[in-house]
Amino acid sequence: MQGSDPYVMANINTPLAALRQVDFSYSPGERLILSGLDMVFPRGKVIALMGGSGSGKTTVLRLLGGQLFAQRGTVEFAGRDIAQCDTAQLYAARRRMGMLFQFGALFTDMSVYDNVAFPLREQGDLSESIIRDLVLLKLNAVGLRAACHLMPSQISGGMARRVALARAVALDPELIMYDEPFAGLDPISLGIAARLIRRMNDALGATSILVSHDVEESFGIADYVYFLAHGKVAGQGSPAEIRASDDATLRQFFDAQPDGPAPFHYPGSSLEEDFGVTTLRSTA
Amino acid sequence: MNKSTLDALVGLFVLVGIVALLFLALKVGNMSALSFTPTYMVSAHFENIGGLKVRAPVKSAGVVVGRVAGISFDDQRYQATVTIALEQRYHFPKDSSAKILTSGLLGEQYVGLEAGGESDSLAEGSIMSMTQSAIVLENLIGQVLFNRAADGGAKKEPPVMRK
Amino acid sequence: MILRAFRYLGQHTLRYLAVLGYASRMFGIVLCAIPRLGRRLRLVMDQLYFVGNHSLLIIAVSGLFVGFVLGLQGYYTLNKYGSEQALGLLVALSLVRELGPVVTALLFAGRAGTSLTAEIGLMRAGEQLAAMEMMAVNPLSRILAPRLCAGIIAMPLLAAVFSAAGIFGGYLVGVGLIGVDTGAFWSQMQAGIDVTGDVGNGVLKSVVFGVAVTFIALFQGYEAKPTPEGVARATTRTVVLASLTVLGLDFLLTALMFH
């Protein structure tokens, strides 16, 4: 064993990030969004987080990034509990993560170039020439090197998301998180986005966590899938295993059935009560 | 807009602001209060300084020749000691007198200097010997009443009896 | 019934105190981040342009108009007591001590304050602030501190411009239009206005107002709900809160300074 430093140990065997027995609600006393959640994110893999709307998928990403803190349980990153970190340690951890927000979240007052250069400029004392090389490399990886002088308002949504991806991987992070990267994209951009996610992950040797509704694209690139329902993991496994599963919740989702364990009608009073109709009871 | 244009415009804004501030300070305000003409200190004792304040003007023949620099209490003589900063270019004879006067009827109080006749001039650290204190309203009223009472008492002598 | 009213009042007071405490803490953090801006002057310069240059025109023109009114109204009133020679003193004192700092602060709140609130509120709505945090950059030092610094620098300069424009406006109306003696106008003014007492205190007031108005605008934007109504409401709150704070602080400062 190489010494007792937990940080070193973490590098070898333990997963990059994990949620263990996590309970979370937005304010104490409110309904638990996540309860007793156990998830493990090993290195080098693309993991898809799927589930119905409001099932807490984005919350998992926020917990990993330290933007939210769990009421119970531990959120680990590189062997350290995020909740126990002080500000400096949290920032150090965040520098090893990259996050792609749903619509890119580019800084609208800066050009594409400045957006990608932002994390590079803020972090180190890199010279402008090194920054220029890095920015152009990252933009080239997403195919937008020639667009570096444009402003975010001048590029399409799909392009904005690619720029945001270049920005998210500017510091070569070990954990990349994607919040609905496929939402609202045309088929060409969808394909591009999926390929980029896979290639970026493999090129950096990173772990990618993908929150998405898009079954086809996600299954195409994911190594492992977690399915969340009611704040718990309702199903997990490789895409093939999930597709073959018999679980009713999973079947409703992946077969796109309107009604099932997740009901079509919002729970409330019955049809008869609302329309004032009493069912005729047959006397025969 | 490129950086140098922006910098120039911001610089212009700051310049306009500073010009406005200088205008207010110099043209509008009373800059003589901050004048840096060289001065020499002279002190004088007064029984009562009334409402005299530090930085009140010291005038001679109506022209401001200095400022009151400090006011303190001398507990050996039980009198007020007023330190005056006189401008170097004005010389006063050693026996000049200092009076505490009021500008207008109820205005601010200032120190009025009247030149004496000696040939020696006041220098740094001189003490003026001839002083007249401020007129305190209560004492004035008291004096008037006393005078009236004295006159009335004198008049109260019984008339000479004529036989 | 009474109990319910008390509970409502208590909850509200506690919530208000919590917000006040949170805002004070944020103010401390942002203020302490300002000295470190010495190496990031570009950020402050950009903000100074948006906050200062863009407000310059409205401040100068408003100052001119207020000066016109002071000249006119002042003359009518002073004329009744035969003291129209003191018009210069009246115009200058009113502007330098009170109207300059206060009206500038109110106009600043309406113009620059609302744009700051809207900008930051929209950054929050577009997840830009969250993205920045995830890149290990503290938005308080990167976004808020330069803006606060720019507000503190710009406000006294703008107030001076307002006062100067107003005095000029009063001069135009008093001497140019009405015919007050120009010598009396300036000499009475110069005799009556003390640089450290009046001009200095006016500058001090405008610095305090600059801090207050800018921070209120930044805080409202930062805490705005990330929806269109949320940003709109935050903008309104900025103007109302900043205006009331300026007027309240003005009373406090005047009492402290000119007693």
C151 or A254: which leads in pLDDT: C151
Query: Does C21 score more than 70 pLDDT?
Result: yes
Percent of chain A with pLDDT over 70: 93
Tell me which chain A residues have a C-beta less than 8 angstroms from the C-beta of C127: 101-103, 105
Query: What does each C-alpha distance from A219 to A29, A222, A223 come to in angstroms?
Result: 36, 5, 8
Task: Name the band, by pLDDT with cuts 50, 70 and 90, for residue A281.
Answer: low
Q: Does C56 touch chain B (CB under 8 A)?
A: yes
CB distance A101–C131 less than 8 Å? yes
Average pLDDT over residues A48-70: 88
B160 or A215: which leads in pLDDT: A215
Q: How many Cα atoms sit within 13 Å of C209 on the Cβ side?
A: 37
CA distance C17 to chain A (A): 19
Average pLDDT, chain B: 81
Helix (H) or strand (E) holding A184: none
Secondary structure of residue A188 in the 3-state scheme: helix
C251 or B121: which leads in pLDDT: C251
B122 or C23: which leads in pLDDT: C23
Query: Does A284 score more than 70 pLDDT?
Result: no
Chain C positions touching chain A (beta carbons under 8 Å) = 126-128, 130-138, 142
Going by the DSSP 8-state scheme, the letter that residue A209 receives in this structure is E
Query: Does C94 score more than 90 pLDDT?
Result: yes
CB distance C157–B7 less than 8 Å? no
Average pLDDT, chain A: 86
Residue A2: predicted pLDDT: 41
CB distance B20–C164 less than 8 Å? yes
Residue A4: predicted pLDDT: 44
Q: What is the pLDDT of residues B69-100, one digit of tens each?
A: 888 898 888 888 888 888 888 888 888 888 88
User: Is the CB of residue C127 less than 8 Å from the CB of residue C16?
Assistant: no
Tell me which chain C residues have a C-beta less than 8 angstroms from the C-beta of B63: none
Residue A7: predicted pLDDT: 47
Task: Name the band, by pLDDT with cuts 50, 70 and 90, for residue A165.
Answer: very high
CB distance C157–B31 less than 8 Å? no
Query: Does C233 score more than 90 pLDDT?
Result: yes
Residue C81: predicted pLDDT: 86
Residue B157: predicted pLDDT: 57
Token pair recorded at residue C244: 């009331």
Place of tokens 């003696």: C181
Residue B36: predicted pLDDT: 65
Average pLDDT over residues C107-132: 94
Query: B74-83, B130-139, B151-160: which range is least confident on average?
Result: B151-160
Query: Does A34 score more than 60 pLDDT?
Result: yes
CB distance A92–C136 less than 8 Å? yes
Query: Does C221 score more than 70 pLDDT?
Result: yes
CB distance A94–C131 less than 8 Å? no
User: Is the CB of residue C227 less than 8 Å from the CB of residue C256?
Assistant: no
Scanning C106-165 for CB atoms below 8 A from B yields: 153-154, 156-158, 160-161, 163-165
Tell me which chain A residues have a C-beta less than 8 angstroms from the C-beta of C130: 67, 101, 105
Average pLDDT over residues C110-134: 94
